[in-house]
C-alpha cells in the first residue's frame, strides 16, 4: 500500500511511502519478502528447522522466529554476545523470539565472525541437526527474488525510489525490478561497510547509488536529533519509523529534499521496510541514559 506524505516540500517534490511495515504484524516488512522464497525452499527440501544469525535487537531474528511459528518450523537463533544468555527477559527482541519458540545459542563476538565459515556451520550441524540455513540479515538469492516483488506496476510514475540498506539484499531486489527511468537511492544504516560491493553482487542494473551521509555514527547509533525527527514525523503523518533503518532513511530523504538535492517535480517513493519491533529495545536504552524516547 502506498501512502502520500501530507507535508508540503519545496521544489514541488512529492513523497510517498510504501507501507511494507503493514505486510504482517510480526514478520515485518522486508524480512517477510526475504523469508518468503527461503521458506518455500526449506519446505521443498523437507527441512523442519531454520537456523539463522543476528544481534540482540535484530529485526531478522524476530521475523525468523515469527515465521517459524507461523509456518511450522523449529527455529534456532545464533546470537552475537555471550553476555546476553541470562538477559533474555530484559531484551524485548529476544523475549519475543523466545515466545515464538526460538531456541538460542549465544556466542562470543569472535565466534560470531566465523558464521559463514564451513567449520563453524558444521559444528552447528552437529549440535542442531539438519537445519535450513538463513544467512545473517536473511540475504541470499531467494531473498533478493522476494524483494523484487516490493515494487509493482502502479509504481512506474515515481522518479526516485529510496530505501534503507543493511546487508544490501532489499535494495538489490528493488534495483532489479525498478524501471529504467527510475533512480534507486540506498541509505546505509551502517558506517564504512563495503556495501557498494555487497549490493552489486545481486543487482542486475546500474541505475542506483548509495548515500552515505545519514548513518548517524553507525549501526544502531542514534541521537536526540533523530529521535526528535521521528516524533515530529509521526505526529504529522501518523507513520511510525524504526530507529535503526527507516528513521535514517526518511531523515536523509527529507534533508536532501529541503536542500534542493532532488530535481524539481520529483516523485519520490520511500520504502518503509518495517522493523518497528526495535523501538522497545531502543527506548530502554534511551530511558537508561535519561534521554527523550521514541513516542508510539
Ligand X SMILES: *Cc1c(COP(=O)(O)O)cnc(C)c1O
Where along the sequence are the contacts to ligand X (CB under 6 A)?
Answer: 29-31, 59-60, 137, 139, 164-171, 242, 245-246, 273-275
Instruction: Tell me whether residue 29 or residue 92 sits nearer to ligand X (CB atom).
Output: 29
* 229-to-68, 194, 220, 243 alpha-carbon distances in Å: 35, 28, 16, 10
Q: Are 246 and 273 in contact (CB under 8 A)?
A: yes
Determine whether 177 is an active site residue: no
Instruction: Tell me whether residue 197 or residue 290 sits nearer to ligand X (CB atom).
Output: 197
Report the half-sphere exposure of 184 (CA within 13 A, side-chain side): 28
Report the half-sphere exposure of 98 (CA within 13 A, side-chain side): 16
Which residue is at the shortest CB distance from ligand X? 275
Tell the smallest beta-carbon distance from residue 88 to ligand X (Å).
20
Cα angle 38, 44, 49; round to 5? 65
- In degrees and rounded to multiples of 5, residue 34 shows phi and psi of -75, -30
User: Out of 28, 58, 177, 266, which one is annotated catalytic?
Assistant: 58
Instruction: Tell me whether residue 135 or residue 259 sits nearer to ligand X (CB atom).
Output: 135
Q: Which residues partner with 107 through β-bridges?
A: 80
Tell the smallest beta-carbon distance from residue 87 to ligand X (Å).
22
Cβ-count burial of 121 within 10 angstroms (0-12 exposed, 13-18 middle, 19+ buried)? middle
Tell the smallest beta-carbon distance from residue 261 to ligand X (Å).
22
* 230-to-190, 203, 247, 292 alpha-carbon distances in Å: 19, 30, 6, 11
Tell the smallest beta-carbon distance from residue 93 to ligand X (Å).
11
Tell the smallest beta-carbon distance from residue 135 to ligand X (Å).
10
Instruction: Tell me whether residue 48 or residue 237 sits nearer to ligand X (CB atom).
Output: 237
Q: Which residues contact 273 (CB under 8 A, 6 or more apart)?
A: 20, 21, 28, 29, 30, 163, 164, 170, 245, 246
Instruction: Tell me whether residue 167 or residue 257 sits nearer to ligand X (CB atom).
Output: 167
Q: Which of 220, 210, 217 is nearest to 188 (CA)?
A: 210
Could you give the residue numbers annotated as active site? 58
Amino acid at each position: 500500500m502506498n501512502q502520500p506524505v501530507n507535508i508540503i516540500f519545496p521544489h514541488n517534490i512529492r513523497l510517498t511511502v510504501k507501507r511494507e511495515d503493514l505486510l504482517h504484524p510480526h514478520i515485518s516488512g522486508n524480512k517477510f519478502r526475504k523469508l518468503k522464497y527461503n521458506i518455500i525452499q526449506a519446505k521443498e527440501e523437507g527441512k523442519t528447522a531454520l537456523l539463522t544469525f543476528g544481534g540482540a535487537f535484530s529485526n531478522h531474528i524476530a521475523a525468523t522466529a515469527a515465521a517459524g511459528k507461523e509456518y511450522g518450523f523449529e527455529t534456532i537463533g545464533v546470537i552475537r554476545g555471550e553476555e546476553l544468555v541470562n538477559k533474555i527477559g530484559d531484551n524485548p527482541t529476544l523475549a519475543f523470539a523466545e515466545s515464538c519458540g526460538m531456541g538460542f545459542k549465544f556466542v562470543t563476538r569472535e565466534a560470531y565472525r566465523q558464521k559463514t565459515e564451513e567449520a563453524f556451520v558444521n559444528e552447528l550441524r552437529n549440535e542442531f541437526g539438519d537445519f535450513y540455513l538463513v544467512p545473517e540479515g536473511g540475504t541470499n538469492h531467494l531473498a533478493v527474488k522476494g524483494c523484487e516483488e516490493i515494487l509493482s506496476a502502479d509504481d512506474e510514475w515515481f522518479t526516485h525510489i529510496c530505501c534503507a540498506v543493511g546487508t544490501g539484499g532489499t535494495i538489490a531486489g528493488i534495483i532489479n525490478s525498478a524501471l529504467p527511468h527510475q533512480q534507486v537511492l540506498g541509505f546505509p544504516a551502517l558506517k564504512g561497510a563495503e556495501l557498494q560491493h555487497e549490493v552489486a553482487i545481486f543487482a542486475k542494473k546500474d541505475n542506483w547509488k548509495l548515500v552515505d551521509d545519514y548513518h548517524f555514527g553507525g549501526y544502531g547509533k542514534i541521537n536526540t536529533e533523530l529521535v526528535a525527527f521521528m516524533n515530529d514525523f509521526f505526529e504529522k503523518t501518523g507513520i511510525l519509523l524504526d530507529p535503526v533503518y527507516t528513521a535514517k532513511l526518511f531523515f536523509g530523504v527529507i534533508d536532501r529534499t529541503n536542500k534542493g538535492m532532488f530535481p524539481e517535480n520529483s516523485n519520490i517513493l520511500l520504502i518503509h521496510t518495517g522493523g518497528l519491533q526495535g523501538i522497545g529495545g531502543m527506548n530502554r536504552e534511551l530511558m537508561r541514559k535519561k534521554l527523550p524516547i521514541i513516542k508510539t
